[in-house]
Amino acid sequence: MAFNQPQEWWPKPYQEIKIEILSIGMLWPYPVPSPTYPAAPEEKSRAQLRYNQKYAYKALDASDSLTTDELELVRRHLLDLFYETAAINLRFQAPFSYGWSRQRVMPTPAAVSRRGFELDLWNKQTAVYFIGDSPDSGHDHGYTDRRLGAYFYREWHRVHDRRPNLQRYNFFAKALQVTKSSESFDVAAVIDTHRQLCDSMSARLNKEVIFHHPSLDEQMKGHYRYFPQADIAKTWHEHGFEMGHLFRAVLLVADENVLPETCPVQPEFGLTGDSTLEEDAAWLELLMPECRVLLVRTGDDAYLSKPVSFASLVDPSNSDQGDGDGPGQVDMVRVTVPVAVRFLHELQVQEEAAYPDLRRIADRMTEERERACREWVDSVMRHGEDFGMDGNWYTWTAVRRMWAARDGETFRDGQGDETRLFSLYSWQCIW
């Protein structure tokens, strides 16, 4: 299962990376100020957009005479829209929509560690290793790799109060596949593979990289300020890319037992190719909380403020637990996705409290994101003042959200809650 270290064959002392149009959203998924914004939906299309029709067709001119208090509420809804837009943008990026599927482009550790392909390894808390070549679990319940990834995405937003730092490829985990039969699966071999991957990443962290920016139109050039500095040699670290602090210490494994052989929940209706999206999605809301992954300590945690301990997660009835070398030490435990995400989040918080420099890095990213949010909201509001609050989609939506909230209703599903923006049915299914 081990992989060979890639050869450093570049003749130059630094690596050159051209930022492709498709990678812009991974570097900066948030909207940026622009002289123009998308128009409000036409009246004839509003019935098909899952809006609360009570407000979708409310008199348009009423939105141009808002009180000071109402305008402040509109600003608050624009804050939500800033984060919802980023959450949606990332869902359509290939490392998410296709990278969480063994049937699509989920890489092996050897492939992703090659020079030129490592961008998506930086700024991750951990890695999830999918075992075997099968594109799904073999169950007929509807579980797939991609739906497990979507569940991780939702829970990661949840533990961060729907406001995680998303810039520069930040995410909870990188999905990797181990192309070996599940029958011969060995956790120790996965740990060894992970250590080699970490060593390869560490060796590159202080290598110099030069980023070249693409030619963008005027509207997209607002992203430049959030990209790594162009045409100058800096290390990955100086460009803002790190190996996640916990990446060496803990990994996750998704094996053939993500769902138990006898699933504890069963659909009330037969899942067929004729099932509606709503029926499948409603079923997945019951199914995915039953999914369990292996949470594994690698033993490489001497650099942490204290050794990783799974003591709080130990369940005497759980047979998927492995004892460590120390007394009472557990090196492996099977847990639900929310438990795994929450455990690593709390461990990261613990480490940031112990190491001020780690906390400062997180604070800088948060300040960058919040500053960008304020600038964007100011720009959208100015556009609304100049062209009317129904002059762009964002203010049009925010006004109607404000009206609906005032009446104790919502204007659209998922409003103000990125964890509910998408069903678990698909990364790219908007409804």
- pLDDT, tens digit (0-9, with 9 covering 90-100), for 199-228: 999 988 888 989 887 776 666 666 678 888
**What is the model's pTM?**
0.88
Burial class of residue 58 (count of CB atoms within 10 Å of its CB; 0-12, 13-18, 19+): middle
Residue with tokens 């999830």: 128
Contacts of 149 (CB under 8 A, 6+ apart): 96, 100, 101, 175, 427
Q: Please give the pLDDT value at position 322.
A: 58
Buried b (16+ CB within 10 A) or exposed e, 279-316: bbbbbbeebbebbbbbbbbbbbbeebeeebbbeebeee
Query: In the numeric block, which tokens belong to residue 19?
Result: 């930022």
Q: Specify the DSSP element, H or E, that contains 17.
A: strand 15-18
Using a pLDDT cut of 70, give the percent of the chain over it: 79
Helix axes 356-387, 337-354, angle to 10 degrees: 110
Which residues have C-beta within 8 Å of that of residue 367, sequence separation ≥ 6? none
Best CA proximity match to 253, nearest among 125, 128, 101:
128
Size of the chain, expressed as the number of residues it contains:
431
pLDDT for residue 367: 96
Q: Taking Cα atoms as reference points, which of 117, 156, 113, 143 lies closest to residue 254? A: 143
* pLDDT tens per residue across span 295-354: 999 999 999 999 999 999 987 666 565 555 554 557 999 999 999 999 999 999 999 999
Section 376-405 average pLDDT: 94
